[in-house]
Structure 1
Amino acid sequence: MRMWKEFIKGLWKENAVFRQLMGMCPTLAVTNAAINGLAMGLATLFVLVCSSVIIAIVKNYIPDKVRIPSFIVVIATFVTIADLFMAAFFPDIQKVLGLFIPLIVVNCLILGRAEAFASNNPVKYALMDALGMGVGFTWALTLLGIIREVLGMGSIFGIEVMGVNFTPWIIFILPPGAFITLGILLGIFNAFSKKKTSEASCH
């Protein structure tokens, strides 16, 4: 039961993007297309899961004085693997994401889960926490990418969906579009959460 709880919290209740506003650099920078958001989310998911498991395994052998540097070395190792894998098999996406893949090393989501959770819990819980947070981060970036791509280009994952008469709203694939889309989604989700809270309190 606890393992399921650790997984599901990252999908919504503690969602890194929509609830905690973590990892905003890649969230705002690479979500101008759905495929970019999905690719960045999956790369982050891979790094988060692998680093959390390793840190949970070796946490008792790491001296407190070098805890954070040790975590960063572990995280950087898996970021390098993810970057090289994408460069080998998905070079076009890797070029688009560019510097933001190496910057996963300093993503506060990754280091935050390593420090706050993986270093204080058994491996099985660290794994489920990382999976939940990673999947939550991935669906959030993909949703942002879908909305921005539909409004800015009239397509989803490169497939035209809006028809020939649609006039793209170019602003949505530009940096201001990221802030506009995220702000609207945060407003909707916050209103939905408040409504559910008020309904629960009434009952």
Structure 2
Amino acid sequence: MSLHNTTEKFGSLTKLLHWAIFILFVVQYYLVYRREYFPKGSSEKMQYMMLHKTFGLCAIFLALMMLIWRYVGTRPNMPSNMSGLERVSAKLVHFLLYLAMLVMPITGILMSQFGQRPIPFFNWFSVPNLLSKNEALSGFFYNAHKISSYIVIGIVALHILAALFHHTVRKDTVLKRMLPFG
């Protein structure tokens, strides 16, 4: 399998980035919701948050790589039987997915920065605090981070439903060309 995309299918790098980011986002949701089962301030809760922040840094790094790769390489063509509305919808959902890949980690980073809370990377190092403490802005970015997490679920659901629609109704290769071993 080629590293590069063609006009017919995605290359291995695009597939790797796509699925790695998807897995990271799933893990992120698990870590955030699972931590609520532990008492406030407990070491377990802190461990889940450390991992959440670490994987958030990984997610923004991979998202930036994916954005760069998207714009320097070839993109597979959309199926010819898609209507104009379907093409616009697909482009909009993909734009929103890319936006979400950036908004989620950035709002999390800003929430931590303004709250003067560390952003560890596997406890190897922490991102230095570059912003002054501002609880109001930290709270704003907390709310933005939380609200956008729900929006991301909706956008990803639309993306999955569209892929399944193409596979089961249209019977085209839209889903198959993004599967890891296709």
Relative to the length of structure 2, the TM-score reads: 0.28
Relative to the length of structure 1, the TM-score reads: 0.26
More helix by proportion, 1 or 2? Answer: 1
